[in-house]
Structure 1
Amino acid sequence: MLRNRGDVSATTRARVLEAAKRLGYVPNKIAGALASQRVNLVAVIIPSLSNMVFPEVLTGISRTLEETELQPVVGVTDYQPEKEEKVLYEMLSWRPSGVIVAGLEHSDAARAMLAAAGIPVVEIMDTDGTPIDAAVGISHRRAGREMGQAILASGYRRIGFMGTRLGLDHRARKRFEGFTEALAKGGVEIEDREFYTDGSALAKGREMTKAMMERSPELDFLYYSNDMIGAGGLLWLQEQGYDVPNRIGLAGFNDVRLLQGLPTKLATMDSCRQEIGSRAAEIILGRLDTDEAPGNKVELTPRINPGDTLRAP
């Protein structure tokens, strides 16, 4: 009666469900899954919960699934391939109805598990590569390239870059590649760069910006791999009395909502986070409902927001 069988009236089922809630009864999903070989869970595997990007992705997934029987369950990998393997192994052992996993880069073992899972797999955030099954995201190389073109069009030429260690964050690496490609076509090279791995992004932004400007005071633009370190850099420059964006311009990435209340708005690019989550969940639902063929790749289009730190061309 608790399994939505058609031979029970809606009124009777509602009374039984209410009684079950009062008694604290939870149905045994593993037993119920023996016939269908799956449970009503969607495994969502992301690299970080402290990165402000992923809560918005999870919001998109949750809102799309909330009127269905499916429930997202989250695993965190900390950008570590071996941890991703472990999380995947544990989650797939529960036979979820689908998997949503961040990124296109995985270890051989992780790729083998995903390919053999026999369920919809949606890789999110990135479209620069070939998905195992389906993918939803943006081209990070294109995002970096378009920001580089916008910076050059605004007349900046002496450029510094700050970001996370590129070996750990493949999407940041691809943006950096697209960015440097655009600069090279304009006859410009990055003059200084600095990377970090741990610590508060806002504080790191201040710290790295101070070090870079003391080292390379002639720079006229600073490009950050994310908005949080960019905001830290902006605050430090304003405290030092720099004329932003005329003496020096800045840009970040992600269009983080938390920073939209700052009196000076950082130039940035929207990474379509919530839409990525929604579209990924829609693919899972579509595949379960209609047995849609695998191979979907949905590339969304981010837009540059010049804010107050990128002067008009």
Structure 2
Amino acid sequence: MLGGRNIGGRKRSSRQGASVTLAEVAELAEVSEITVSRILRNKGPVAEATRKRVMAAVEATGYVPNRLAGGLASAGSGLIGVIVPSLTNIVFPEVLRGIHAALDRSGLQPVVGVTGYDMEAEEHLVEALLAWKPQAMVIAGFDHTERTRRMLQASGVRIAEVMEIDSKPIDIAVGLSHRQAGFDTGRHLIERGYRRFGYVGHDWCADRRARLRYDGLAACLAEHGLGLVDEALFEGPSSTIAGRDMLARLLARQPDIDVVVFSNDDMATGGVFHCIAASIRLKEDVAIFGFNGLDIGQALPVPLSTIRSNRFLIGRTAIERILERHERPEGATIVDTGYEIVIGGTA
């Protein structure tokens, strides 16, 4: 809506899967297509009121200009846009390996952007990649700005939101239920006899999936008449140092906790290092449980007890599913790639 009008007298939802056109933006802003083009290319003088009206129409529709010229536009770019929050976290390079494996010999090339867990940075990357008219987009998670969501919905290309399946996707979601993984963590540890639970985690604002696992754990404990004795949260990204320091702080307050669930393996590995340095016997004095199933956790002197997510499979499956059909279907699709509990030796 802009000034009480729908695009072309109809709601955008009636054109599910179709890309917004320059003509629709012009119609909504009540100007010519040439005027819209000039404003978007910042070419020539234009009244400020007109510019604002056009930009409001662009914002409302999620329109992204086409950076491909002439005949190339009809042929497509041969690109797959991929946006992940980090490359330093080994989780996402493994997803990228799966993407590359699925694209092998397809003739398509991935173009990767990294957000640093910043949704505004993600918005700029989505706009930049969509301007090159990719064949599809793969993007980590469901957390987007409203403008990012509108651009993705209006693009008409296949969209795979990966790593989680706990919300409704724009097109297709590939990953696991993090809430259920947290619940299953609690159930597994209760079955092994643990009752006094602690939690060590990192910044939930930047990692919604860690919060979902925490919520699942809390729900499981409540179902069994239990709760967290105490928790220590680091106000920043996960790291081994943060895990080490937060566990030391937690145990200083609650030395009788018998098991600590960590937000991920990075943090849990730091917890193991603290126990080794402080001569705390793993599993006997305190048990430690992580998430992700990273190689570093299994290479510790005592292999980490954790949940292993299928990261390579997530990346490969996302590409395979979105390439099965060029047109975006009417309904959303969810693909659960599952996870497995790694018994390890720390819990």
The number of residues matched between the two structures is 281
Cα deviation for residue 106 of structure 1 reads 1.5
Amino acid at match of 1:128: D
Does residue 1:79 correspond to 2:117, yes or no? Answer: yes
Asked whether 1:270 is paired with 2:308, we answer yes
Letter in 2 for 1:306: I
- 2:104 counterpart residue number: 66
Is 1:248 the counterpart of 2:251 in the alignment?
no
Map Cα deviations across residues 6-53 of structure 1 (whole Å, 9 max, x no partner).
xxxxxxxxxxxxxxxxxxxxxxx85652223x2111111111111111
Residue among 215, 236, 251 paired with 1:213: 251
The alpha-carbon distance between structure 1 residues 189 and 200, as it changes in their structure 2 partners (threshold 3 A), is closer
| 1:92 and 2:105 are equivalent in the alignment | no
Query: Match for 2:131: what amino acid?
Result: S
Instruction: Flag the 1:199–1:184 CA change in 2: closer, same or farther, 3 A.
Output: closer
CA distance in 1, matches of 2:101, 2:202: 30
Give the secondary-structure state (helix, strand or coil) at the position aligned to 1:48.
Answer: coil
Matched, 1:198 2:240: no
Displacement of 1:88 in angstroms is 0.5
For structure 1, the residue ranges without an aligned partner over 5 or more in a row are 1-28
Contact 1:286/1:292 (8 A) holds in 2: no
Bigger CA drift: 74-83 or 275-284?
Answer: 74-83
Q: Residue 341 of structure 2 corresponds to which residue in structure 1? A: 304
Q: TM-score, normalised by structure 1?
A: 0.85
Runs of 4+ in 1 over 4 A off after TM superposition: 29-32, 290-294
**Mapped partners of 2:104, 2:264: distance in 1:** 30
SS state at 1:270 partner: strand
Deviations 1:28-83 (A, max 9, x none): x85652223x2111111111111111000000001110211111111111222211
Map of 2:25 onto structure 1: none
Once residues 199 and 281 of structure 1 are traced to their aligned partners in structure 2, the CA distance between those partners, rounded to angstroms, is: 28
Q: Distance in 2 between matches of 1:32 and 1:201?
A: 48
The more displaced of 121-130 and 239-248 is 239-248
* Residue among 212, 221, 224 paired with 1:174: 212
Write out aligned runs for 1:93-132 (5 A).
93-132=131-170
Q: CA deviation at 1:180?
A: 0.4
Contact 2:86–2:114 at 8 Å: present in 1 too? yes
Contact 2:203 2:235 in 1 (8 A): yes
Pair 1:50 & 2:84 matched: no
Root-mean-square deviation (Å): 1.8
1:35 corresponds to 2:102: no
Which structure 2 residue ranges, 5 or more long, are not aligned?
A: 1-67
1:295 aligned residue (319, 326, 332): 332
For 1:291 and 1:119, locate their aligned partners in 2 and report how far apart those are by CA, in whole Å: 7
